[in-house]
Structure 1
Amino acid sequence: MNARVDGLTNPGPVPHSLRDAPSFIEAQFPVGRVSAESFKERSAVQGQLLTTLGTYWKGRKPLILVRATVLGCLLPATEDALGDLRVFLLLMGMDDTTFARRMTSFPAKKVDPDWPGYLKVIEPGEPPKWRKSLPKVERQALLAQWLLTLPYDRRLDLCLRPEDCPERELLEGIWDDVNSHLGTTARSVHELVRQLGVMRFGHPPTLADPFCGGGSIPFEAARIGCEVLASDLNPVACMLTWGTFNVVGASAETRLAFEKAQKDVAAAVEREIAELGIENDASGNRAKAYLYCIETRCPKTGWMVPVLPTFVISKSRNVVATLIPDPVNRRYGIEVTTSVSETDMALAETGTLREGRLVHPANPERDGVALGVIRGDYRGEDGRGANRLRAWTKAGFIPEPDDIFQERLYCIQWIEKGTVDKARQTTFFSGVRDEDLERERKVEAIVRRNIEDWQAAGLIPDQPIIPGAETARLRRERGWTYWHHLLSARQLLYFALVSKNIHELEPRMQTALYLNLAKALDWGNKLCYYGTGAARESISHLFSNQAFNTFFNYGVRASRGLSEHILIDLGDLQEIHGSAVVSNRSALDFQDAIDIGVSDPPYADAINYHEITEFFIGWLRKRPPSPFSDWIWDSRREMAVKGTDERFRSDMVAAYRAMSERMPDNGMQVVMFTHQDVAVWADLAAIMWAAGLRVTAAWNVVTEIAKPSGAGNYVQGTVLLVLRKRLTGTKVKKMDIEYEIETEVDRQLAVLNDLDNDWTSERLYTDGDLRLAAYAAALRVITGYTHIDGSEIGVDIYRKLAKGEKTVIRSLIEYAAEVANNKLVPDGFPETLWRDLDPASRFYVRMLDVEATGATKYADYQDFARSFSVQNYHLLMESKKANAASLAGAATLKGAMLDGEGFGSSHLRRVLFAVHKTMQKDDPKEGLAYLRTTYEADYWGHRMKLIEFAKYVSTKTAGTRPDESAAADMMAMRLEVDRL
């Protein structure tokens, strides 16, 4: 690195001056702020920059996280750790100096009423207002000061994301400080990135991502100045990545051409639909949505019955469907009624489908008939489940008359004539009339006449569905065997017209509009759930999650609604300051020279992308324009890197070894992966060791959004595993490496705690972050060796492991976890007691501390349970809801898990039972008697420890369980005054 001399002009970047310098991300990483920013970006949902291309690839990492990672790799770690941190935060727009520039306009009521008092006046009964006498410029300056007094996550509620702010304005005035610290001459982030590349590698940095997926890593790296090599085995991933550069990152001129092309296609299709007369009724109303349901014959009664989970159609307008029995034809008519009473709305909540059984008025048996009976479920010769559903044929697109499951249109939402403009349109729901059914038959006739020609021309799919973990259900649940079976006749006609019009464009526009077609397909199929929310009704999209969920009722958008998804709004112009090459190839075939690798590999089959993307491949594979024509339009399942077994580990080793061999000795890799199990990333560390890499750091960043309903538990952290080449390797004895691990853990925690204390009053690092950093410290030690006690560290990577078998690395990781856990004593708990706690008691004590801070995320409980190796931690919990989790208190535990080994005979468990006894009669007498009897002669030797436990429980439950807190306090005081 360049020496800086006061009074002398900065000489600028010197090639290779940072060749051997450690990177910022290896020494520190402000995960608190990066997590908050990443979470804010993910919370924008459809407002994220790259989701405009389609939301069906869920695994995109936040752009802010990618930027932080790339800068973290390029920036040096110097002896001035605080200076390094400040420069990093300045460049990210997270430093106080830059943060205030992100502030948006907000009403006076959002400002704390007592700070500063002269900002606003509060009239009785009125909302706060800005003081008129205060000029706006002064007001904004005062607000900026107030903003910086807030916790970081609350600041974000009042601010833009960094990418929404013009870089020139956001980073104005920082460059003298940045350049002085780094010895650079940059005036923009992309100039700095390229200069740092020269200082490290002798040229602008080349970054590779061989698992490019949705394209966020390549896009952001290229946007800030890297030369990027992106590749993926999956052509849909390549298409999305190509779109980030060539659509989202297109020039202004190309964008205009693209916008015109997509409007032309949408308008052409709309004209053709209008000419066919299949979406307008006799009164001139135009269809907005069609609601369908499955209909089946009840084996008990012989009646055809609509299978409807609910009769509610619209909660916002009190619209319901009512079954009208038709005894002559042994079926039901469906009447749609608007503005029914609240009583009728409540009755309509329950339809004919109740807990997997078909219940209807004509069947006197109130528990109905199981759907499994109707399908004819049975166990096949191969032991797998099967049924009597007919397999649909290649030319089929609707059920045959004798099929078990029929499809029935039961309601239409109309746009009233004369209110076509979306902002002012009036809609209403109606039942299905004869003229509506005539239009249905007309659409079916058009598709029947043309389906073979459309398939031959590649306008709609002719590709069979290959059974797999996710795809087999389509055949099992509906009889669908080809990809076009997932679309209704109306949808097939619409998308055939879209495909035809796209293929009539000039080649460059054809390529771009493949992304539009894929996006619209996600929103136009029979796996789109129809929801009846309190505020409004909505039709979801297929990949609202990453599964092929079939529904008994579903919504079909009319052409106007589908065309909204053909029109992609690209937002502000994006500048790509580097370059990018996208290749459709396996990560195992990586052959290019690189400086940095950043990747988000598949792991543990979290999402079966190789299967679900076949839905799109079926539509796009026959006539792809250049450069897509050079790609293999097949998921190549057999080549996909997936799973957790020895073949997966072998493939991963091969992929990362290929990259490692093609980067310089001072090159770096960062592996991002999202998984709840710490053991999973320990396995990943073993893979990286076998690939010739050594771990230099690991950080846990919050990136995922917990469901607001609290109905499920979702992964919330992304681990960044930082690696370099293992240039040398030596042998070591286990007892020696354990000592090294403990020393390195101590050093790592000391560094991070010092930064925490010196930098800011808010905590940059949580206990979870510190614990993960401790694991990384252990991995740094482990992966630097080749043999431990004569055994090669990675010898087990290629063989099948026995159930519960521990590899050398796994055993040492567990040791590191124990070391780290011994260091991370909860606030207020006696350090002398911590080391002797059993795992379950340690978990309980830690979670009492976590709960006292107001945290209620189930993921935290899972994380700490794994850290402390507590298998049955759920027995210690009262609630396991995603965002409302809690420990079982003394009153809930009562006498459960008392006695026995471990937690049952621990001091903590016995104190909790004594507290329970105290709560029963508001008197510690019985609790004290229980403790005296249980410990017998040992009571006096343990009394002081029991007092500490009681005090701790009292302190930590004061806000969460005040009755328990009071009882524990009484118990502690009674123990203190107890005498012989």
Structure 2
Amino acid sequence: MPKACKRLAEVDFPIAEVSRHAAREKSIRHGHPSTLHLWWARRPLASCRAMLLGLLLPDPADPHCPAEFKARAREALTRLYAGAQKPGDEDLRRWLLKFIADFANWDLAADPNYLEVARALVRAAHPEEPPLVVDPFAGGGSIPLEALRVGCEAFASDLNPVACLILKVMLEDIPRHGPRLAEELRQVGAEIKKQAEQELADLYPKDPDGATPIAYLWARTVRCEAPNCGAEIPLVRSFWLCKKANRKRALRWTRGSDRSVGSDGSDGSWEIFEPRNEREVPAGTVSRARATCLACGAVLPPERVRAQLAAQRGGADVVFDEHGRRVGGARLLAVVTLRPGEPGRHYRLPSDRDYEAVRRAQQRLAQLLAEWEHGGKQGLCPVPDEPIHAVDTRNFWVCKYGPQTFGDLFTARQNVALVTLAGRVSLLKGGNEEALALSIGRMADFLVSIARWKADAECPVQALARQALPMVWDFAEANPWTDATGSLVSQTERMAGAIESVCITLASVAQVQLADATKHPLPDETAHVWFTDPPYYDAVPYADLSDFFLVWLKRALPDHPLLRDPFDPENPLTPKAREAVQNERSQTDDGRPKDRAFYEEAMARAFAEGRRILREDGVGSVVFAHKTTEGWEALLSGMIRGGWTITGSWPIATEMASRLRARESAALATSVHLVCRPRPEDAPVGDWADVLRELPKRVGEWMERLQAEGIRGADLVFACIGPALEIFSRYSRVETAEGREVTLAEYLEKVWEVVGRTALENVLGTAEAKARNGVAGALEEDARLTALFLWTLQSTNDAAGTQPAEAVDPSDPSDPSDPSDSSSPTDDEAEDAPAPRRTGGYTLVFDVVRRFAQPLGIDLPKWEGRIIETQKGVVRLLPVVERARQLFGDHGAAAAAEWMERHPGRTLQLDLFVESGQEGAVPRRSRAGGKRRPGEPHGLELDQGRQVTTLDRVHAAMLLQKAGQTHALRALLEAERERGPDFLRLANALSALYPRDSEEKRLVDAMLLAVPR
């Protein structure tokens, strides 16, 4: 392809259609390649497939596009679309974009007709040889997998051993063995299950009535430290067992006379019942790590809960005395069973037989360790004794409660089961051992003491569903020998379905290598496409998290060449010193902290390597979706320093609407796909004045395009950075008239200013205000701040779909189906955080708010406590109801009620006023007598020195509407109509900005209906 010819992705892209398919794909689990094994922040296949085609195919309307390509492309497309025969180049471009949009649909990803057309188009664009697609941060393998699907060659590398094993199975073993691998996985998995089940039958006994336990529900315990108590406190976040619409079961404890709470292991004080409503189910015993004693009601503080559990190494196992009686540790709450010939799950209380099986497991584990020690400790310890690497405990809350090694995260019975399975896999030699090893990794994710029980689905939840090792008070222990969730059969079946899905679509085998992206193993100018999804700054601690799987994979595949640290043979865990992440608590090989400068340098080296291995006519693409401006600026700095220029930018929605939360941990709905080319060595020097003149037009046009595609809020903000960088990155450097070089940080400040001003013009009509008043908008700072805040919060998946800020709710864990969900702590982990004082309003990361406010002249401290509240780097926009006190005085509501009771039938008047003489003061109308009567409402009462703003008056009107004060509201609206248009202009803007189902929108819309016509 001629170098001068633009690629399709540099010209146009079907954003809306691809976004719809990509977001939908997150809900597809069965048969999807992502179910092969967990990997965090995996990109949807739909977006990768569509972007790859856009990068590979030339623009037919480009004058340098080969005629041969256009002829062959029309021929291929007519197999699906009869209208593609039209001769026009613009028509051909539209049909190519339609095909890209249609082929992004998961339902068509394996369709033979679409597969053949995709491959024919790629062959037409690259007739000499299949193009090579290189991904140096391959992770879960979405990009190289899609490269193989459309007929390319693929080179996938990663620094992480777990990622490399996933890549090898997906991109080498599956294409090489085909459907046979899925069948072997089922057969060998069934044989291993049968052998292990027989060997460990006494650890998972069936019930005397023939029922089979499929899960054991446990609770860690602590002792009450109140005087004269000492009762055992089971740490239970929820007593619900089954919470389905047509069937409900729960657990409750009835106070006994001995106040022991069953400390002797008896069942007498517990019962399983069928609640008729939520109120009948008792509240959990633990909240924000504060444990409430069932016997005396005393509360054990978090530090004592932590200390007691730390003394038990996490408290996941039962403590027995020398006679085999339970005396402490984890307590079995209930057993979930399947009865022969009866549908559904059943629940029973624990028995002595259950505890006897656990004690036998502890004895078996002790025997395994003794044999290893007597054998001279040859090889790995059977139970993972590798330390949990938690330099930064933000994602490793479990470490605060005592576990020191990965083996401590598992109960004795879980360790014995996993050791047995790993040992069986390690004996295999037939080409299927790597896939079976991944099934052990999947098993560990469920068969661990930090796996929850999901009452509404009646199944265990994988432990690492989020990007964290959480602390879980009550946990579910799955029986690995059944067919239920968490069992070996269920895990191998899911993997087999993924294998069958992959193998029918791949045309060739990829090359997988464990490698550092900053020192790529490929020679110069070998790649046609360099396409990658790099680490997101400080978002995901990939190496630390994947250690959880590595320790078991190493025991299933001892001495495997991929499962090692190639830079440090003594390191038993994943490589961390070279991992390109920002984490100042971690260090590099030379002791340097991994700060922002380290991340920028690592990204610059990786991008420089990408530029080196890319062919002269090649193209690159980088996916990024970090939620902070620091992450974006660090990445962009690395790109520019690495020698790239951005030529396109396409935001693709990759998250389901149900996953978006307007809280400090909320992720963006879109991933921005930056298209880039190597910057020429002779790139010119740019003039700062020319760049600034071009910037507003470029941003304005792009915002208009994206809004038409349904892109909203923060997604729109970050998506505008790409086009803005197209201007800046095309130059070797940008200089002012005085010859001073303009830094990227300085330019990005201007970008934020332009985006903010453009947004305000759209939502507040400030363009009209500037023309009328000669100033940058007539509305005050608080109105502009509120408008920008709400505009930024808008959701791409729903133009008004923002969610209120939430209090942390321990009974509503994150959806386990989405492992890319953010890692905000739930109630179980957040014991050190202060309880939220408020649960309303909307939140944004402080950095985003600051970036908008500063260039627009908004003084954030001035509005602190008045319309915003900042805590721990998160800004909360106060809901209107929280402003009632500052607007109407300390006793406003009470005084109004008292006045109305003493003056029935009279109208409550609202007087807007400030101290006389202040600029912008609203004159107060005099009453008969000249003074306010005792108990009469003050109207707007603001601190001395603060003038009443248009936003204050709108909020006051909304509060009058809420209070049902129609006469006062009508008087206020009449006064505002006489004052000017600003009140209605702001009120209408807020109506468009407030979330669709919010209380604020209901109030402002109802208030607007009362405006005199």
Cα 1:717–1:793 shift into 2, 3 Å? farther
2:569 counterpart residue number: none
Secondary structure, in 3 states, of the residue corresponding to 1:595? Answer: strand
Distance (Å, rounded) in 2 between the aligned partners of 1:918 and 1:428: 54
- 1:543 shift after superposition: 0.9
Cα 1:949–1:399 shift into 2, 3 Å? same
The within-5 A match list for 1:684-703 is 684-703=635-654
Q: Which amino acid aligns with 1:438?
A: E
Q: Tell whether the 8 Å contact from 2:581 to 2:599 is kept in structure 1 after alignment.
A: yes
Cα 1:901–1:683 shift into 2, 3 Å? farther
Q: Could you tell me the TM-score, scaled by structure 2's length?
A: 0.71
Q: Which amino acid aligns with 1:726?
A: R
The within-5 A match list for 1:2-401 is 16=1, 18-44=2-28, 46-47=29-30, 49-54=32-37, 56-79=38-61, 162-165=105-108, 171=114, 188-198=117-127, 203-246=129-172, 249=175, 250-274=177-201, 276=202, 278-300=204-226, 301-315=229-243, 316-322=247-253, 325=256, 327=258, 331-332=262-263, 333-335=266-268, 336-340=270-274, 342=276, 346-363=279-296, 366-376=297-307, 389=311
Report the aligned-residue RMSD: 4.7
1:519 counterpart residue number: 442
Secondary structure, in 3 states, of the residue corresponding to 1:621? Answer: helix
Distance (Å, rounded) in 2 between the aligned partners of 1:318 and 1:95: 58
Q: Which amino acid aligns with 2:42?
A: R
- 1:62 shift after superposition: 0.4
1:301-320 CA-to-partner distances (Å, cap 9, x unmatched) read 23333333344433434342
Q: Does 1:832 align with 2:753?
A: no
1:818 maps to which of 742, 753, 758 = 753
Q: Tell whether the 8 Å contact from 1:41 to 1:161 is kept in structure 2 after alignment.
A: no
- 1:654 shift after superposition: 0.9
Distance (Å, rounded) in 2 between the aligned partners of 1:658 and 1:264: 46
- 1:292 shift after superposition: 1.5
Q: Tell whether the 8 Å contact from 2:192 to 2:424 is kept in structure 1 after alignment.
A: yes
Q: Does 1:841 align with 2:764?
A: no
Q: Does 1:438 align with 2:356?
A: yes
2:574 maps to which of 635, 638, 643 = 635
- 1:169 shift after superposition: 6.4
Cα 1:599–1:959 shift into 2, 3 Å? closer
1:768-801 CA-to-partner distances (Å, cap 9, x unmatched) read 7776564333211211223333799999xxxxxx
Q: Tell whether the 8 Å contact from 1:507 to 1:626 is kept in structure 2 after alignment.
A: no
Secondary structure, in 3 states, of the residue corresponding to 1:466? Answer: coil
- 1:273 shift after superposition: 2.9
Secondary structure, in 3 states, of the residue corresponding to 2:649? Answer: strand
Larger deviation: 677-686 or 63-72?
A: 677-686
Larger deviation: 707-716 or 425-434?
A: 707-716
2:673 maps to which of 710, 720, 737 = 720
Distance (Å, rounded) in 2 between the aligned partners of 1:350 and 1:962: 33
Cα 1:972–1:289 shift into 2, 3 Å? same
Larger deviation: 500-509 or 892-901?
A: 892-901
Q: Which amino acid aligns with 1:737?
A: V
2:95 counterpart residue number: none
- 1:646 shift after superposition: 0.7
Structure 2 gaps, min length 5: 84-97, 567-571, 583-594, 771-775, 805-841, 889-912, 921-941
Q: Tell whether the 8 Å contact from 1:297 to 1:304 is kept in structure 2 after alignment.
A: yes
Secondary structure, in 3 states, of the residue corresponding to 1:826? Answer: helix
- 1:721 shift after superposition: 1.6
Q: Tell whether the 8 Å contact from 2:452 to 2:460 is kept in structure 1 after alignment.
A: yes
Q: Which amino acid aligns with 1:244?
A: M
Q: Which amino acid aligns with 1:589?
A: K
1:732 counterpart residue number: 686
Q: Tell whether the 8 Å contact from 2:169 to 2:434 is kept in structure 1 after alignment.
A: no
Cα 1:648–1:493 shift into 2, 3 Å? same
1:909 counterpart residue number: 951
1:856 maps to which of 760, 781, 801 = 801
Cα 1:98–1:243 shift into 2, 3 Å? farther
Distance (Å, rounded) in 2 between the aligned partners of 1:582 and 1:793: 47
2:93 counterpart residue number: none
- 1:691 shift after superposition: 0.6
1:512-564 CA-to-partner distances (Å, cap 9, x unmatched) read 2111111111111001012333xx42211111212111222111011224222
1:407 maps to which of 319, 326, 330 = 330
Q: Which amino acid aligns with 1:372?
A: E
Q: Tell whether the 8 Å contact from 2:157 to 2:514 is kept in structure 1 after alignment.
A: yes
Q: Which amino acid aligns with 1:303?
A: A
Secondary structure, in 3 states, of the residue corresponding to 1:638? Answer: coil
Q: Which amino acid aligns with 1:717?
A: T
- 1:845 shift after superposition: 4.8
Secondary structure, in 3 states, of the residue corresponding to 1:699? Answer: strand
Tell me the matched-pair count. Answer: 824
Distance (Å, rounded) in 1 between the aligned partners of 2:713 and 2:642: 31
1:594 counterpart residue number: 527
Distance (Å, rounded) in 2 between the aligned partners of 1:262 and 1:520: 12
Distance (Å, rounded) in 1 between the aligned partners of 2:560 and 2:884: 66
2:728 counterpart residue number: 782
Secondary structure, in 3 states, of the residue corresponding to 1:253? Answer: helix
Larger deviation: 352-361 or 593-602?
A: 352-361
- 1:741 shift after superposition: 2.7
The within-5 A match list for 1:600-615 is 600-615=533-548
Q: Tell whether the 8 Å contact from 1:745 to 1:778 is kept in structure 2 after alignment.
A: yes
Q: Tell whether the 8 Å contact from 2:310 to 2:403 is kept in structure 1 after alignment.
A: no
Distance (Å, rounded) in 2 between the aligned partners of 1:972 and 1:831: 27
Distance (Å, rounded) in 1 between the aligned partners of 2:378 and 2:255: 44
Q: Which amino acid aligns with 2:332?
A: L
- 1:894 shift after superposition: 8.7
Q: Tell whether the 8 Å contact from 1:842 to 1:868 is kept in structure 2 after alignment.
A: no
Cα 1:213–1:951 shift into 2, 3 Å? closer
Distance (Å, rounded) in 1 between the aligned partners of 2:118 and 2:365: 54
Q: Tell whether the 8 Å contact from 2:411 to 2:449 is kept in structure 1 after alignment.
A: yes
Distance (Å, rounded) in 2 between the aligned partners of 1:290 and 1:246: 38
- 1:699 shift after superposition: 2.0
Secondary structure, in 3 states, of the residue corresponding to 1:280? Answer: coil
Q: Which amino acid aligns with 2:666?
A: Y
1:543 counterpart residue number: 464
Structure 1 gaps, min length 5: 1-15, 101-151, 173-186, 378-386, 757-761, 796-806, 933-938, 974-980
Q: Tell whether the 8 Å contact from 1:293 to 1:408 is kept in structure 2 after alignment.
A: yes
Secondary structure, in 3 states, of the residue corresponding to 2:24? Answer: helix
1:619-677 CA-to-partner distances (Å, cap 9, x unmatched) read 12254365546775731112211115111111111111111112123322111122223
Secondary structure, in 3 states, of the residue corresponding to 1:785? Answer: coil
- 1:912 shift after superposition: 2.3
Q: Tell whether the 8 Å contact from 2:957 to 2:972 is kept in structure 1 after alignment.
A: no
- 1:874 shift after superposition: 10
1:820-879 CA-to-partner distances (Å, cap 9, x unmatched) read 454554379474227526665346457888989861225998599577437679975899
Cα 1:32–1:901 shift into 2, 3 Å? farther
Q: Which amino acid aligns with 1:611?
A: D
Cα 1:283–1:894 shift into 2, 3 Å? closer
Secondary structure, in 3 states, of the residue corresponding to 1:530? Answer: strand
Q: Which amino acid aligns with 2:542?
A: Y
Q: Does 1:617 align with 2:550?
A: yes
1:896-920 CA-to-partner distances (Å, cap 9, x unmatched) read 5999999987975366268559854
